Chains A and B, each alone.
Chain A
């Protein structure tokens, strides 16, 4: 995955804006920092164009696999299962593929390496929190790959005969909902990443987290088709808010009230994960002793 190898060039000194009111200066500084961050990350990502496209395959194959399975199951059951007709399954999984790609976050794996090898130390000396570099690189990766994904989605939708029930309000709600989901997965990834301060290796934790996402986030089945105990688990855990919620909204599978309710749950989990991150990071950072420091 494209990693932020090059440090953004902060110091390419533009003149300080003395005498300008403080508020304006602060917002200008933010814009300048954001511009530099993005420029650096775009340059980094541009080196890995083919790699980025190949990584798309991972996002595409799994939803198609389960779409095919549910389509075969629905055909065996006379065309529909639990309110999902063949076209609904197709629409759901097409939307899910898009959501998976738009919300993906891989920072924990990189972070583990940085803690283990001590390369985190120089990053901590920079004036910006490592979170911001990661967030920019995450956004840039999606800007690069999603345009390539869209034609594939159109093809899958066509080849499985997807029927969308999307209303204009669904589209309008999808945007904030997928943004919430992306932020939620990103923050959760960082909470888990920060565990590396204590355990150094977090592969096992990440694997468990990935498999829970596999089971409970709506990948193996739309959440309303999960049987009793799994449905309860997915209702009390945040995984549904990470993938299934935006996917259901985009395909038009919810009413306006349901959509708003689901998004409130997303916002709640995002707040929880942010709080969790702040706490874990504060305590964890004290445990960090860089190699060679």
Chain B
């Protein structure tokens, strides 16, 4: 409860920051609309030449693109700005000020900063998702909706765990923004279902950089293409990734020496 209240405070503070620069806010919003629109066009170009891709129809693919922007937007709202600042704190030694606060340090580091305009990206994702669902046409049953919600949360946790692990490396190497570039570069591959990729890339996108399964599984779930085994594996993998990331974080924290110490 206390943590939810904190999240609210963080979001409101950052909203006030964002509203100071209104032109910039509008420009960022325009950029996001352009990004999503052009990605949608790319899918339409592809489906102008074929009716299915590896069993995925245009509607299902649109759903998948919606999930992609939903996840990307969600992580860009909170995790991206927060981890960026965290690495800056480690470099400058100012992390001390966060560690002495009476809050769980992992929570504080992961959620403190919010990029308000990126909320629009997540919302655009929802809009694309809805458009895709309308095109698929079938009514979504309760089971599928539940599986969708569950896998979506799992997907976000997977992405979060990866970002946390990569950021935690800052305790040892200080400059790790380059390692985050690995995540950014593979993010592009999330726009298509992971099953179209050749083995080596599919493996990468399901394990080291799990953006592939994070996007594909929710889309499969809502299209009724996900079986119990897949769902179970996703839950287990998510639990494992979360525990590992949290353990790794504590491990890294022990290594932190601060600026003046």
User: Which positions in A face B, CB cutoff 8 Å?
Assistant: 50-51, 54-55, 57-58, 60-62, 64-66, 68-77, 81-82, 159-160, 201, 203-204, 207-208, 211, 214-215, 220-221, 225-227, 230
Contacts and interface: CB of A to CB of B under 8 A. Distances in A.
Nearest to A56: B185
B41 interface: yes
- Main SS of chain A's interface residues? helix
A68 B49 contact: no
B260 interface: no
Given A69-B196, A71-B196, 13 more contacts: A64-B189, A68-B192, A68-B197, A68-B198, A72-B54, A74-B50, A76-B51, A77-B50, A159-B200, A204-B28, A204-B31, A211-B35, A220-B41
Interface in B148-207: 178-179, 181-182, 184-186, 188-189, 191-192, 196-198, 200-201
A50 B178 contact: yes
User: Counting chain B CB atoms within 10 Å of each CB, which of A55, A58, A69, A160 scores highest?
Assistant: A69
Contacts of A71: 196
Given A220-B45, A227-B45, A65 B192 contact: yes
A58 B38 contact: no
A61 B51 contact: no
B188 A61 contact: yes
Contacts of B54: 72, 75-76
B42 interface: yes
A204 B35 CA distance: 11
Interface of B: 24, 27-28, 30-31, 34-35, 38, 41-42, 45-46, 48-54, 178-179, 181-182, 184-186, 188-189, 191-192, 196-198, 200-201
B185 A61 contact: yes
A73 B189 contact: no
A57 B49 contact: no
Contacts of A65: 188-189, 191-192, 197
Contact of B196 (A61, A68, A82, A207): A68
Given A72-B54, A76-B50, A230 B45 contact: yes
A215 B46 contact: no
A61 B186 contact: yes
A172 to B, nearest CB: 32
B198 A62 contact: no
Contact of B53 (A55, A73, A220): A73
A221 B185 contact: no
A230 B24 CA distance: 29
A77 B31 CA distance: 35
A202 to B, nearest CB: 10
B186 A57 contact: yes
List the 8 closest A-B pairs by CB distance, nearest first: A57-B185, A73-B50, A220-B42, A204-B27, A72-B196, A72-B54, A72-B53, A207-B31
Contacts of A55: 181
Contacts of B41: 215, 220, 230
Contacts of B191: 65
Contacts of B179: 54
20 contacts: A54-B178, A54-B182, A58-B181, A64-B189, A65-B188, A65-B197, A68-B192, A68-B197, A68-B198, A69-B196, A72-B196, A76-B50, A76-B54, A159-B200, A160-B198, A203-B27, A208-B34, A214-B42, A220-B45, A221-B46
Nearest to A73: B50
A207 B121 CA distance: 15
A74 B186 CA distance: 24
B45 A81 contact: no
A77 B48 CA distance: 12
A159 B198 contact: yes
Contacts of B28: 204
Contacts of B52: 76
